[in-house]
Amino acid sequence: MILVAGSANIDFVVRADHIPLPGETVLGRNFQTFPGGKGANQAVACSKAGGVKTQLLAALGEDDHANRIEASLQAASVELRPIRVANQATGAAFICVSDDAENAITVAPGANAYLLPAHLPRLEEFSHLLLQLETPLDTVLAYAKAASQQGVQVVLNAAPAQALPDELLHLVDILIVNEGELMALAHEVRSVEEALEKLPCTSVVVTLGAKGCLARHKGTLYKQDAFPIEAIDTTAAGDTFCGVLVAQLSQGSDWPAALRCANAASALTCLSLGAQSSIPTALAVTQFLENH
């Protein structure tokens, strides 16, 4: 079983011709709300697209947005371990999606900022702990320490990008980042390959958008090309990749197979609008791979 500890948000999404520049006002078109948040998205991906029993530890407000998130998690067979935070709103993300499927996101953490080290349960029943950076860094570090001490694989999606203490990086078994996040963590390197080698984690995976992904695991490099698609919305594509990769590895898949499956699930996520609502089923991923 996988435990995901992280954020749960409600996403406010506007479609527009392009993402606004600083100081620019853009007239959007349709507006929708979706359950989201990196932690919740990755938990849904583990369960729905990865087919693995998954729990989510997340802090929620006592509001209607929390109810929508709970319903979405339940529909994806994710067991929620909720931390109720009084007098705080459930986290929110404000997302502009352009016609070329790119997005710009601003997050208001709300209750997510109140996920604390003391909230982590015992980890005997879990094989992997999947973390992100939309909750307090002190909490992420405390959870990584506890998991490492209990023999649980620590997986960190180091997003949104921020400086990380060396202590945390040395606790991480699998680090998942995009290219910008990787270069920010590695410092003064000339290539993605050099950055992968520089970081101390046992395994490092970098997603490269339309170029696929690259991974270093115990000194061996693996490359997986992207699947060609006509993207509609890239929101949650990275979260889907993370969740499915961890799900595949937890089931004993080797690295090439796990990367291929994660890339396929991520590609399918880009074909629909929204975060959790766009994450495919495990059957859809299997059928996609059979046809590619």
Alpha-carbon torsion 185, 107, 79, 49, what sign? Answer: negative
Residues in the chain: 292
Contacts of 93 (CB under 8 A, 6+ apart): 9, 10, 11, 12, 36, 37, 105, 106, 107, 108
> Of the residues 17, 100, 239, 254, which is catalytic?
239
> What's the count of helices (H) and strands (E) in the chain, helices before strands?
9, 13
Contacts of 176 (CB under 8 A, 6+ apart): 155, 156, 157, 158, 205, 207, 241, 242, 245
**Alpha helices of 11-136 — where are they, by DSSP H?**
38-44, 64-75
Q: Peptide bond before 160: cis, by omega within 30 degrees of 0?
A: yes
CA distance 83 to 87: 13
Contacts of 244 (CB under 8 A, 6+ apart): 45, 46, 49, 50, 261, 262, 265, 266, 285
Query: Quick check: is 63 catalytic?
Result: no
Strands 153-157 and 174-178: parallel
Active-site residues, by number, are 239
